[in-house]
Amino acid sequence: MGKKIIFIAGTSYSGSTLIDLILSNSSNATSVGEIESIFNPVKIHHLKKIEEIKSDPVWGTILNKGVGQLYQNLHDTLDVETIVDSSKNPAWIRYHIDRLPQDVSYQVILVYKSLPDLKHSYEKRGRYNWAKIYKRYHNLFFNTISDFKRIEYKDIPLRTDNFWALLKHLGTELEEERLEFWNQSRTNFFGNNNANIAFSQAKGNDETPKLEYRSGSTPENIAFVNSLLEKDLELKRIVTYLNGEESCLSCPKSSGIINNFRFRLLVKYLRVIQVKVKNIFREN
């Protein structure tokens, strides 16, 4: 089969962690989660994780070797064919696509939620800028990545034809057992742990874990989103493209430096410096 990287993209709360855990549930695959954050920490808990793994014989070594040949080092050290990276950042994905060795193939998966579901996921966490984040993320993604497959979040727990078609495209065994990712322990970084927590609690109560879809598409959310789409044509273009079947030759793209992946790498670098300085003053 050969060495392969599966990059998973999507906004926060889009379902990227769930598809990551499913795709990496194999003896010849492993998840590294949002591994970008141990090289580009932008939050205090990222720095804490870095300190925690520095002395680890595996991850400490990978960390010290840096990002230049990251996936070659991961393949050599972890001894698996497929590595699943759900860092999500399009600039990070593009940076590594441009540097992968010739003997390593890659695939990019964009997972997204319907706007009513996304609105629900953000607002239940007290975040109300979901529309702005949605537009900003997808504009950058479409400007940065041209070869990818997309899937709506609900297709994953509902196991629709789109979900099985995605697994087939990825060359993944079409087995129901692959969905039972909670039976396999793994080491990965960050991401949304709600699914793992829920399944662990169910197992602790001697219940059979279930992969279910819980919709946030209430009549109120649907009405609000429909009204918003009538006013925000940029948002509407993105939603229309994601729900269609066209290739990225027709995906909506925005001009401007903010949607340039090199600029976003610079911004991320500046954020890394900021959080490291903040942590120094915090410790003192």
The pLDDT, as a whole number, for residue 50 is: 93
Identify the pLDDT of residue 193: 58
Supply the pLDDT for residue 204: 55
Amino acid at 13: Y
In angstroms, the CA 131 to CA 167 distance is: 29
pLDDT at 208: 63
Question: Which run of H or of E encompasses 134?
Answer: helix 130-144
Contacts of 17 (CB under 8 A, 6+ apart): 33, 86, 191, 192, 193, 195
Sequence-separated (6 or more) residues with CB below 8 Å from residue 86: 7, 8, 16, 17, 19, 20, 31, 33, 34, 191
Whole-number pLDDT of residue 196: 54
| Strands ordered across the beta sheet of 149-152 | 29-33, 82-88, 3-9, 104-112, 149-152
What amino acid occupies position 225? V
Query: What distance separates the 2 farthest-apart alpha carbons in the chain?
Result: 55
Q: How far apart are the first and last CA of the chain?
A: 51
Structure tokens given for 121: 């996921």
Q: DSSP E strands: which ranges in the chain? A: 3-9, 29-33, 82-88, 104-112, 149-152
Confidence (pLDDT) at 235: 94
Q: Over its length of 284 residues, how does the chain's per-residue pLDDT go in tens digits? A: 689 999 999 999 999 988 998 888 888 888 999 999 999 999 999 999 999 999 999 999 999 999 988 999 999 898 889 999 999 999 999 999 999 988 899 999 999 999 999 999 999 999 999 999 999 999 999 999 989 999 999 999 899 999 999 998 988 766 666 677 776 666 667 766 555 555 555 555 556 667 788 898 899 999 999 999 999 999 999 999 999 888 887 788 887 888 888 999 999 999 999 999 988 888 76
Predicted local distance difference test score (pLDDT) of residue 278: 87
Q: Quick one: pLDDT at residue 194?
A: 59
Looking at CATH, the fold of the domain delimited by 3-283 is given as Rossmann fold (3.40.50)
Cβ-based neighbours of 177, under 8 Å, separated by 6 or more: none
pLDDT at residue 39, rounded to an integer: 94
Residue ranges covered by each domain of the chain:
3-283
Q: Residue 116 has which token pair?
A: 């009513």
Residue 109 makes CB contacts below 8 A (sequence gap 6+) with 6, 7, 8, 9, 19, 148, 149, 150, 151, 166, 170
pTM of the model: 0.91
Nearest to 101 by CA among 145, 65, 61, 71: 71
Q: Is the dihedral of CA 31, 33, 38, 40 positive or negative?
A: positive
